[in-house]
Structure 1
C-alpha cells in the first residue's frame, strides 16, 4: 500500500498506539519462536501491508521514510530508557568509501525515520508488548553536525584499511556496531587484506534514550554548545576550552569563580560545578544534550603528587546471576564500556599538598582492551562462579577467590556495599558483600597522564 503524504503515514502509524503485537499479527509470525526481527516484520507486513525487503532505499521510498520498530523499558527509578541501540543498514566497506555523507547509504536510507516505540517488559511474552508511541523523526541540526562527523570518522577508518579496528566507542551518536550471527561474519575491506567483522550503522542506545525521554517522558535537553561551535570543533575540544581557564585552581576557587555552593564530600557538587562551568547552571548533567546523547559520564580523579590516583575507580555493582546467563556479545560489562565515553575531571595535590584542578580527559576504552582483557576477566569470573566461590575468613575480613588487581592490570572485583551487612546472594546460594567492578588505580593513572 502506498501513502500519498507523510501526514497520512503518520496518522496510520499513530493509530497503532495501544495495540499489542498479537492484535496486529495477521501472518502468524509470533508462532515462530526466536525469529530475528519478527516484531518489525509484523508491523511491516501486517500493519502497513508491504512485503519484507532489504532494499538500499527507505521502506516508504516514495516519501523517503524508513520504518523502525524499537523497544524502550522502565528502569527501577521509574525513568524510561531505550532497551538497545537502533541498528540501521549494513555497512558495505567496498562501496561506502566512495560516498560523501550526503550520498552515503546511511543518509539515503535514514534521513527521515518513522519510529514506532513499544514497551519491553521482562514478564510479558512478546505478543503482549504494546505500541506506545509513533513519531516521524528527523535529526536536529545540532545532532546532525555530530552524526556527520561520526560518519566521516567511520568512512576514513575504512579508507585507512582499518575496518577491522572499528569500534562503537570511536564515535558519539552514530556507531558502527557488529552485525552478524557470530565472529565468523566477516567481510572484505578495500584497503587491507584483513577481513573485518560485518558491521551496521546504528544509533547508540544513549541517543535512542534521549529520543524516548523527549517524546514519551516529555523531557527537555539543553545544549552547552552552539551550532557554529559544533561545526568548527569536536565535543572534546569544546570541553577542553570550557575547562581551560580553571586549570591550577583549587576546587573552592573554581566554585567561587562560578558562584556555585559546593560540598566536596557530595558527588553532586562536582556535577553542579561542571554544569555551571559549561554555561548551563542548574541543569543536571543527564539533561545536557551532548552528555545524554553520547553517554558521556564524568568521573572525578584525585591524583597524589606522584601522579597516581588515591584509589581505584568503582562502577556498577555486579549481578552474578546475570553474568552466568548472558553471552559475551550482550554482556553488561562489554556494552557498558563499548558505548560509554568517560569524562575524567582531574585534580592533583601540589607540593604543598593542596588539591588543584589539572585538566580533563575524554576517553573510551580501546576495542582491543574490551575484547581481550575485559573478555578474559569476564570469563574468569564465570569460571569461579561455575566451580564455586571460595570464601575465606582472614584478619581483614571475609575474602573471596575472584581474580585480583594483578590479574590483567585493567580492572578487578572487590566489595562496594554500604557496610559488611550489605550483601547479595551468589548463584550457589552463598551470601557475599556486594561486589563491584573497579578500574585499577595504575590503569587510571596511565589514562589521565597525557
Structure 2
C-alpha cells in the first residue's frame, strides 16, 4: 500500500530503521541474493517495497503524490557515504530553453527521503542494517550550488562539448556515463551542432554533498 501522507511515509521509514536486510526481506517474503554483483538494484527494491513506493516513470518522484523522492545511501562505519548518488539522466538533445527551475534534477531533489544503509562489503548482505530516515529539502545555499553546477554542465551539452565533460567538473553535482555498457548509445549534439551517437550521461550527487546532508541531520538530533 502506498502511504497517503508524509507522516505515514515517515512512520513506515522509522519502523524499518534498525532492521537488517534479512529481517526486512523475511517480513516481505523476499529472498536475499548472496551479493549485489548481479542484483545491483535489490536494496533499492527492498526499501521501495517496504515503504510502498509507486514504481512509475523514472521522470516521476517515487512518491509523486507527496512530492518526495526516495534515495538509499550506503554508508561506512563512520557514517560517511560510500558512493555517489544517481539523480537523473541528462537531456542530451531537445534541451534548448531548459532552465534549472524546470529541470528533472531540481524536481527530483526538491524533497528527498534519504534511507542510510550499511554498505561496507565485509558485512554479509543479510546482516546489513537500515538506518534512521532523513527527510531533506535543499537549503537556499545548497540549491544555489546545485543550480550553478547544473547550468555549467548543461552548457557543455547544449554547446556540443560532450567530449569535454569529465567527472571532475562540478562542485556538488557531476555528469558521468550512465549505461550498462558502451553499446548502450543515445543521441547527443556534436561539435558542429550535428546529432551524434554518444553514451547516456547521468547527473550524480558527489559523496561530499550527501555527507554534508547526513552530518546536518546528525547535528540536529
Conservation of the 8 A alpha-carbon contact between 1:175 and 1:202? yes
Inter-partner Cα distance in structure 1 for 2:22 and 2:55: 19
Inter-partner Cα distance in structure 1 for 2:61 and 2:127: 28
TM-score (norm 2): 0.87
Matched, 1:82 2:86: no
Inter-partner Cα distance in structure 1 for 2:163 and 2:16: 41
Inter-partner Cα distance in structure 1 for 2:114 and 2:98: 26
Equivalence for 1:189: 188
Matched, 1:49 2:52: yes
Matched, 1:130 2:134: no
Q: How far did 1:99 drift?
A: 1.6
Residue by residue over 1:235-282, the C-alpha shift from the partner in whole angstroms, topping out at 9 and shown as x without a partner, is xxxxxxxxxxxxxxxxxxxxxxxxxxxxxxxxxxxxxxxxxxxxxxxx
RMSD: 2.1
Residue by residue over 1:23-82, the C-alpha shift from the partner in whole angstroms, topping out at 9 and shown as x without a partner, is 11225352375212110001112x0234544431101010110001111102xxxx4311
Distance 1:162 1:27, change over 3 A: farther
Structure 1, gaps ≥5 residues long: 220-450
TM-score (norm 1): 0.44
Conservation of the 8 A alpha-carbon contact between 2:149 and 2:170? yes
Matched, 1:31 2:33: yes
Distance 1:203 1:155, change over 3 A: same
Inter-partner Cα distance in structure 1 for 2:138 and 2:76: 22
Residue by residue over 1:327-366, the C-alpha shift from the partner in whole angstroms, topping out at 9 and shown as x without a partner, is xxxxxxxxxxxxxxxxxxxxxxxxxxxxxxxxxxxxxxxx
Inter-partner Cα distance in structure 2 for 1:115 and 1:50: 13
Matched, 1:70 2:73: yes
State the structure with bigger RCO (CA 8 A, min sep 6), 1 or 2: 2
Secondary structure of 1:67 counterpart: strand
Conservation of the 8 A alpha-carbon contact between 1:69 and 1:118? yes
Conservation of the 8 A alpha-carbon contact between 2:61 and 2:69? yes
Inter-partner Cα distance in structure 1 for 2:197 and 2:43: 32
Structure 2, gaps ≥5 residues long: none
Secondary structure of 1:169 counterpart: coil
Runs of 4+ in 1 over 4 A off after TM superposition: none
Equivalence for 1:210: 212
Mapping 1:349-388, distance limit 5 Å: none
The count of residues paired between Structure 1 and Structure 2 equals: 213
